[in-house]
Amino acid sequence: GAVVSQHPSWVICKSGTSVKIECRSLDFQATTMFWYRQFPKQSLMLMATSNEGSKATYEQGVEKDKFLINHASLTLSTLTVTSAHPEDSSFYICSARAGVRDQPQHFGDGTRLSIL
């Protein structure tokens, strides 16, 4: 149980392109989803927390107009990187949590984004 699917797993695109990443909880309803970014050999960095049906809460320093998050249903959240630039190249990982706050987060497989 607690399977989280993330798509696509790998994206290579030109600078200026917008890229959408999907995160789905396959066998549970995710009231809260989280988006992380991880640079090589660095730790996970939380970008934002999203709750179904409400606006995402962004961490300090994360541009909400650049990283658009939508959590329209209990099983789907999307992250759109708008007008991506090479410095946005990173490993983006979503996680999902069912129900109460003390439950663990379950991670998707991640999306490796490379901006040329």
Partner 1 sequence: QKEVEQNSGPLSVPEGAIASLNCTYSDRVSQSFFWYRQYSGKSPELIMSIYSNGDKEDGRFTAQLNKASQYVSLLIRDSQPSDSATYLCAVKVNRDDKIIFGKGTRLHILP
Residues that bind partner 1 (CB under 8 A): 2, 6, 32, 34, 43-44, 46, 49, 57, 91, 93, 101-102, 104-110
Number of Cα atoms under 13 Å in the Cβ half of residue 76: 7
Name the minimum Å distance from CB 107 to partner 1. 4
- The nearer residue to partner 1, 14 or 102, going by C-beta atoms, is 102
How many helices (H) and strands (E) would you count in the chain? 0, 11
Name the minimum Å distance from CB 109 to partner 1. 5
Cβ atoms 106, 2 nearer than 8 A: yes
Name the minimum Å distance from CB 28 to partner 1. 13
- Give the H/E segment covering residue 76: strand 76-81
